[in-house]
Amino acid sequence: MGFHRYSSPYDWSRVAQYKDTAHAVPGGMVDLSIGSPVDPVPDSVREALAGAANGANAYGYPLTVGTPDLRAAMRSWLRDCRGVHDLSILGADTVPTVGSKEAVSLMASLLFLGQGDVVVQPRVAYPTYEIGTQLAGATVAKVDDVADVDSWAGIPGVKAVWVNSPNNPTGEVLGEGRLRRIVEAVRSIGAVVLSDECYAMMDWRGAADDAADDGTAPASSPCILREDVCGGSAQNILMLYSLSKQSNMAGYRTAFIAGDAGLVATMADYRKQVGQIVPGPVQAAMAAGLRDTAATRAQHTRYRARLATLVNALRAYGYDAQMPQGALYVWVKALGEDCWADMGALAERGIIASPGEFYGAPGYLRFSATATDAQIAEAARRLQA
């Protein structure tokens, strides 16, 4: 499981010159590039963190698999927010991870993949899927649509398939039928589905329901572990979720893997040996974040409004912008010859986007809604000027 060298176009130093230009614009730079949350951490989370600061799970070594309370919270969240009613029936289990990025980057290695093994992923995707495969020494196979199972099922050596719904950066959401076909095809070749559902609670396809005050969470995208998707079994399935976006907990590094109990148990054992363990007080905060559905709904409301403002402003500027099906980004085709030409033009207005080349599509740009209301409004003013 030793690390191998990796290569990636995901190099933010290439954006520095555009940021220098944007900073010089009157009023300064409006950064819509990296999806880093800007809103307050829920009170429930901060109180839970403080309350656990001197508990047995703080001064003593924390449990790799999570405290009983955290394990209960993960199961309840899957049931109440994702429609996964009974992990024991599915043959599934959970393990918390130190944020989702380390889980993504280590996934191929913890599945013991290496030379000769192939990991399928979307062609336009979060760069860490590819980096994680390379770190394991395995081979990346990129396809336009992982739901088109014929595009990869016949590739020799396929051992895992990455699914990302809602997708970063495009916002595409895969429905139950497409997810079910992926699961069936993966199982037929003895591979593993790796379903990154970190934006699951940011689904914009239905009518706005943010005004509900009954304490329930907003509707989410379909989960790979739902019985109508997985066929009542978690065999060969691993799902990944993060609290970074729903609860503004990016700095807490709180995420978890759920799925095939045998695969999860092996991963938990290796995570214990290398010390990839969520700190004890953070486990308490994570449990609180999973249970605070009112805060999740409030954040959902903020992001829906910001995305709508961004979409309208980008249209006024000339982009063919649409409200995404899910996630927190507006993905648009560049107006110039490529993303870098547009990066230059936008920087002249003090706006920084994320170049599509970082995600495998140099003809596109990604605009993030993870900015304050004031920053989104200022970006809209500049785009519409």
Per-residue confidence of the chain (385 residues) as pLDDT tens digits?
Answer: 578 888 776 678 899 999 999 999 999 999 999 989 999 999 999 999 999 999 999 999 999 999 999 999 999 999 999 999 999 999 999 999 999 999 999 999 999 999 999 999 999 999 999 999 999 999 999 999 999 999 999 999 999 999 999 999 999 999 999 999 999 999 999 999 999 999 999 999 986 665 555 668 898 999 999 999 999 999 999 999 999 999 999 999 999 999 999 999 999 999 999 999 999 999 999 999 999 999 999 999 999 999 999 999 999 999 999 999 999 999 999 999 999 999 999 999 999 999 999 999 999 999 999 999 999 999 999 999 8
Domain span at 379: 12-40+295-384
Instruction: Label residues 9-31 b or e (16+ Cβ within 10 Å = b).
Output: ebeeeebeebbebbeeeeeebbb
Q: Is the same domain home to 136 and 279?
A: yes
Residue 384 has a pLDDT of 95
Residue 213: per-residue pLDDT: 59
Domain count, the chain: 2
93 and 174 co-located in one domain: yes
Rounded Cα distance, 136 and 131, in Å:
9
314 occurs within a structural domain: yes
Q: Are 284 and 291 in contact (CB under 8 A)?
A: no
* Pairing label, strands 158-164, 139-143: unpaired
Shared domain check, 173 and 25: no
Q: Are the CB atoms for 77 and 290 separated by under 8 Å?
A: yes
One domain, residues 299 and 360 = yes
Judging by DSSP bridges, how do beta strands 158-164 and 192-196 pair with one another?
parallel
Token pair for 145: 């649509």
Shared-domain flag, residues 31 and 147: no
Query: What value does the CA radius of gyration of the chain take, rounded to a whole number of Å?
Result: 21
Statement to judge: residues 179 and 315 lie in one domain: no
Indicate the pairing of strand 254-260 with strand 192-196: unpaired
Tell me whether residue 356 is in a domain: yes
User: Based on the domain organization, do 371 and 266 belong to the same domain?
Assistant: no
Same domain, 251 and 315: no
Please state, in angstroms and rounded to a whole number, the distance separating the CA atoms of residues 292 and 281: 17
pLDDT value, residue 185:
98
**Would 53 be classed as within a structural domain?**
no
* Structural domain contains residue 52: no
Provide the CATH number for the domain around residue 326.
3.90.1150.10
Residue 163 shares a structural domain with residue 80: yes
The pLDDT of residue 199 is: 97
Task: Assess if residue 45 is contained within a domain.
Answer: no
Mind listing the pLDDT tens digit for each residue in 175-225?
999 999 999 999 999 999 999 999 999 999 986 665 555 668 898 999 999
pTM metric for this prediction: 0.94
Instruction: Please indicate, yes or no, if residue 27 is contained in any of the structural domains.
Output: yes
Does 6 reside within a domain?
A: no
pLDDT at 3: 85
Q: Do you find a cis peptide bond into 169, omega within 30 degrees of 0?
A: yes
**Domain CATH for 166:** 3.40.640.10
Note whether residue 373 is domain-resident: yes
Instruction: Choose among 217, 236, 215, 214: nearest CA to 225.
Output: 236
| Residues with Cβ within 8 Å of residue 27, at least 6 apart in sequence | 350, 378
Report CA-CA distances (Å) from 162 to 101, 168, 185.
14, 12, 13
Same domain, 282 and 152: yes
Out of 259, 292, 325, pick the residue that ends a domain.
292
Same-domain status, 96 and 239: yes
Question: At 191, is the secondary structure helix, strand, or coil?
Answer: coil
> Same structural domain for residues 280 and 299?
no
Which of these three, 292, 309, 339, is where a domain ends?
292
**Angstrom distance (rounded) from CA 185 to CA 271:** 29
Q: Which of 264, 292, 320 is the last residue of a domain?
A: 292
CA distance 319 to 353: 13
At residue 207, the pLDDT reads 65
